[in-house]
Structure 1
Amino acid sequence: MSVFTDDKLVVAISSRALFDFEEENRIFESGNPQAYMAAQLERLEQPARPGIAFSLVRKLLAFNDASTERVEVVILSRNDPVSGMRVFRSGRANEIRIERGVFTQGRSPFRYLKPLQAKLFLSANADDVREALAAGFPAARVLMESVLAGDNYPNEVRIAFDGDAVLFSDQAERVFQDGGLDAFQRHESEKALQPLPDGPFKPFLQALHRLQASGTPAMKIRTALVTARSAPAHERAIRTLMHWNIHVDEAMFLGGLPKGEFLREFEPDFFFDDQTRHVDQAARHVPAGHVAGGITNG
């Protein structure tokens, strides 16, 4: 079993984000954890169906080959250890390699992100995501009502990001909230040559950039910036990415247009945004996650 290294992309994910455990979760939320555990044990030989983040995980793991493990996926779950057995068996049945897991039986698991050296945390639990973001880890709450990813790009990991409060800090968003669109556009034009401060998902984008550079010809990564910015505020966003020495494959400066239909055409395996209205709308078309940071989530 491999050890964690700085250049490995470690994804920590809850069992509900990876597999469809919604029926079992309804039992748990009824206030009867013993019944939930019994149901999972009864279904031990019944593999769970793929969940919202399954396509993302499966494609990222495809960057591994016989000689190099570039990506590792670790289950980080509020589940009990008994239920954890079904999670591992579901992984084997769905042909994804998962060897490590942490099961905390109802307690918040986010404190284990540091020893895992996680570059991404996906969970259905909003409190766990907020704690992870506060601790400095890229994290998103998976919208369980999202549609599953399509299968048109089996050899591409396709990921879309919002800009402000996701890839970048919420500095510019604060200007918008305080002074409106005109103040925002003026502020961003004046500071076009000044890179935006880092946002919570910059480390994950960097990790994807490294994975693309060191990966296998059999798999590619295609990224998109999908933002409500429009000209002239677009320039600061582009120059910030240039300053980071990172490029995205597509950039959509939508000027307030709904993002969902553009995302439907891009067909990402996952989309990250900090504003609930954008995430809720996107979830009708693609797998989506809420990044609960920044001024709009205060």
Structure 2
Amino acid sequence: MPVTLDDRLVVAISSRALFDFEEENRLFESSDDRAYMRVQLDRVEQPAPPGVAFSLVRKLLAFNPPAGQEFADRPVVEVVILSRNDPVSGLRVFRSAKHYGLPIERGVFTRGASPWRYLKPLKAQLFLSTHEADVRSALEAGVPAARVLPHAARASGAHPDEVRIAFDGDAVLFSDEAEQVFQRGGLQAFQTHERDRAATPLAAGPFKPLLQALQRLQSAGAAAQRDGRPAMRLRTALVTARSAPAHERAIRTLMDWRIEVDEALFLGGLDKGAFLAEFEPDFFFDDQTRHVENAAPHVPAGHVAAGIAGG
């Protein structure tokens, strides 16, 4: 029977999003790739420090049955390295993953070329990278993707058995239809538009497929618990600048999709960073740079270059 990833949540991630290669990357940017390759090869036995998305990846992989246990041959999450690194530098990436106990087996290393084109054969449902052009190309191809901020805070260790993910609404989970109204007519026009259409579901944004996949993953975790197996939990939050009366359309849209979120924060334009610090997500996705930069000192964050405000 041919090998397939069809029944898994596939996360593609760049080496700089998973591990902290910022020191090595400065050498690459100031010199050439051969100097970078030499350094990575010299450090091949030295595990790279965890990067911004490390906690998210580690916890998602923990949804898989442990090796040697029943159903271990049926993983529900697959993480693939998709990197502009060269194959030699890829040695250190895999060694580092092994050091931290991350069961990552697949990788694509393109030595400077854009790797996003491999997302389609991988059937990836999330792509995390520090390279903006690759993220934009992935989003245009219909793959949920975010540019990871390498300087963002690392995730809290307070919830070891729970994956926590926070999403902005407009242009992330939902289309940017309402954001376009706001940009054209201001807050009052936006509120009126959303109040009048409260019962009309918003169109899907780029991250709806990921939220759906996460809900399936949550169901798999619940089934594992019922079978008496240790299982990870998933907790999601909608963190949006919307406020009443525009909140109703967002909630009703999720209800129409039959998707549940655990928390919804309607902040009415307040800075999101302090609220995200309390939620303690393993990752936060937003389309507006100012919100991502505001969140980055507190939590791992990524920019979704989509919609009128984020593109």
Question: Which TM-score tier does this pair reach, normalised by the shorter chain?
Answer: over 0.9
Is 2:5–2:122's contact at 8 Å kept on the other side of the alignment? no
Aligned to 2:139: 133
**Which among 280, 291, 296 is matched to residue 267 of structure 1?**
280
Deviation of 1:32 (Å): 1.3
| 1:207 aligned onto 2:213 | yes
CA distance in structure 1 between the partners assigned to 2:252 and 2:22 by the alignment = 42
Deviation of 1:2 (Å): 8.8
- Structure 1 length normalisation: TM-score? 0.98
Is 2:155–2:282's contact at 8 Å kept on the other side of the alignment? yes
Percent identity of paired positions between Structure 1 and Structure 2: 72
| 1:256 aligned onto 2:269 | yes
Q: What amino acid is aligned across from residue 60 of structure 1 in structure 2?
A: L
Cα-to-partner distance string for 1:115-139 (whole Å, 9 max, x where unaligned) = 0010000000011000000111000
Aligned to 1:44: 44
CA distance in structure 1 between the partners assigned to 2:287 and 2:202 by the alignment = 17
Secondary structure of the residue that 1:261 maps to in structure 2?
helix
The alignment yields a C-alpha RMSD, in angstroms, of 1.1
**Which among 156, 175, 178 is matched to residue 184 of structure 2?**
178
Q: How does 1:20-99 map to 2 (within 5 A)?
A: 20-65=20-65, 66=69, 67=71, 68-99=74-105
Aligned to 1:114: 120
Aligned to 1:165: 171
Is 1:4–1:117's contact at 8 Å kept on the other side of the alignment? no
Aligned to 1:189: 195
Deviation of 1:3 (Å): 3.3
CA distance in structure 1 between the partners assigned to 2:135 and 2:282 by the alignment = 19
| 1:12 aligned onto 2:16 | no
Q: How does 1:217-256 map to 2 (within 5 A)?
A: 217=225, 218-256=231-269
Cα-to-partner distance string for 1:39-60 (whole Å, 9 max, x where unaligned) = 0000011111110000000000
CA distance in structure 2 between the partners assigned to 1:199 and 1:4 by the alignment = 27
Q: What amino acid is aligned across from residue 110 of structure 2 in structure 1?
A: T
CA distance in structure 2 between the partners assigned to 1:2 and 1:257 by the alignment = 51
CA distance in structure 2 between the partners assigned to 1:246 and 1:3 by the alignment = 30
In 2 relative to 1, CA 161–179 (structure 1 residues): closer, same or farther, beyond 3 Å? same
CA distance in structure 1 between the partners assigned to 2:6 and 2:173 by the alignment = 20
Give structure 1 stretches of 5+ with no counterpart: none
Deviation of 1:5 (Å): 3.8
CA distance in structure 1 between the partners assigned to 2:289 and 2:165 by the alignment = 18
How many residues align structurally? 298
- Structure 2 length normalisation: TM-score? 0.94
Cα-to-partner distance string for 1:209-261 (whole Å, 9 max, x where unaligned) = 00001123321000000000000000000000000000000000000000000
Is 1:172–1:184's contact at 8 Å kept on the other side of the alignment? yes
Q: What amino acid is aligned across from residue 63 of structure 2 in structure 1?
A: F
Secondary structure of the residue that 1:69 maps to in structure 2?
coil
